[in-house]
Amino acid sequence: MAFVACLVLALVALALPAALRAPVAGALRRTVLLPVIAVQEEAAAAREQRQSLAALRAQRDSLALAAQRLPVLMAENAQLRAMLGLRARLQRGDVAAEVLHQGGIADGLTLLLSAGRDEGVAPLSPVVAPDGLVGMVISVDPHSSVAMAWTHPDFRVSAMVEGTGVVGIVAARTGASGNPILALRGVPYRRILEPGTPVVTSGLGGVYPRGIPVGTVVGELSEAAGWERTFLLKPAVQPAEVSHVIILSPALAADSLGAVFDTAAAAAPPQPR
């Protein structure tokens, strides 16, 4: 019935002279169509509110994403600033490189670096970060190279505790939590290393310069045959957290870099938590 009534009114309005259409249409809007117009206004207001809500949600998501990225950017910025300080103290024999994304079974054990033969990188070049040792270059291409991280099962480095004469071999092993950790083997049985004792490269072997931080002692692992001890080390650098590295020249193998890393560590800004 409402539809028929509206149809009849529409036909009557079409049949009216042009001079009467406007007054009749105005009267209808003020009376019969007033609820319809109110519903239309409410629908338009609801549509605008939904659009405003969607815009606010988009802004909120953008701010949340930016807030999540901020600590990462701050950490990367701090790492780059520390690298600049380290390079300034090295003064020679180094190449800066970016750690490129690498997927596969070797991810975490090897690092793909953005510098290669054309940039002066050679096999057996030590790879370091501002906090200490990362690994060693094992293969070189014209513009990229592959480094063996200390997490690799085949990684070994001669290390020592400065001022004590304690020398041993550091290699990776699996910790109690399942994460890789370092172990200092070959420590004489009569020597006890306290937790927190720093361990650095010894320079023996002609690959790694002396004085590069390797890690700090966290405790004793075991005793072997009654004549040596093995100590667990907290690594100075986690390869998975490194985005930029410095590749040292093999010509630096005979140098001592202890003062360089001590100064760089003291000048490095605090890492954000």
Place of tokens 């009654």: 226
Domain count, the chain: 2
The number of residues making up the chain comes to: 273
16 and 135 share a domain? no
* Cross-strand bridge partners of residue 17: none
pLDDT value for 266: 43
Q: Is residue 67 part of a domain?
A: no
CA distance 161 to 233: 12
102 and 18 share a domain? no
269, 258 Cβ separation under 8 angstroms: no
194 and 114 share a domain? yes
pLDDT value for 265: 46
20 and 89 share a domain? no
pLDDT value for 141: 92
Q: Is residue 132 part of a domain?
A: yes
Nearest-CA neighbor of 131 among 200, 180, 74, 73? 200
Tokens of 8: 């009849």
Tokens of 193: 């290393």
89 and 212 share a domain? yes
Query: Which CATH number goes with the domain that contains 248?
Result: 2.40.10.350
User: Phi/psi class of residue 165: alpha, beta or left (left: φ > 0; alpha: ψ in -120 to 50)?
Assistant: left
Q: Where are the beta strands (DSSP E) in the chain?
A: 94-100, 110-113, 126-129, 132-140, 145-149, 157-161, 166-174, 180-188, 198-201, 213-224, 228-235, 244-248
Q: Is residue 51 part of a domain?
A: no
* Cross-strand bridge partners of residue 157: 170
Q: Is residue 115 part of a domain?
A: yes
Q: Identify residue 121 by its one-letter amino acid code.
A: V
Q: Is residue 159 part of a domain?
A: yes
237 and 111 share a domain? yes
CA distance 154 to 216: 21
6 and 96 share a domain? no
pTM over 0.75: no
78 and 28 share a domain? no
248 and 128 share a domain? yes
Tokens of 19: 């001079």
Radius of gyration of the chain (CA): 35
123 and 256 share a domain? yes
178 and 91 share a domain? yes
Q: Is residue 64 part of a domain?
A: no
* Cross-strand bridge partners of residue 182: 172, 233
Q: Is residue 111 part of a domain?
A: yes
Tokens of 200: 């650095």
Q: Is residue 235 part of a domain?
A: yes
SS3 (DSSP) at 239: helix
First to last CA, the chain: 72
- Domain extent, residue 9, equals 2-32
CA distance 252 to 155: 20
7 and 103 share a domain? no
pLDDT tens string, the chain, 273 residues long: the values are 888 887 887 787 778 787 777 777 777 777 777 787 788 888 888 888 888 888 888 888 888 877 776 676 666 666 666 666 666 666 666 888 888 866 554 567 899 999 999 988 999 999 998 888 999 999 999 989 999 999 999 999 999 987 787 899 999 988 777 788 899 988 888 888 889 899 999 888 888 888 899 999 998 876 555 678 889 999 999 888 888 888 988 777 667 776 677 644 444 444 443
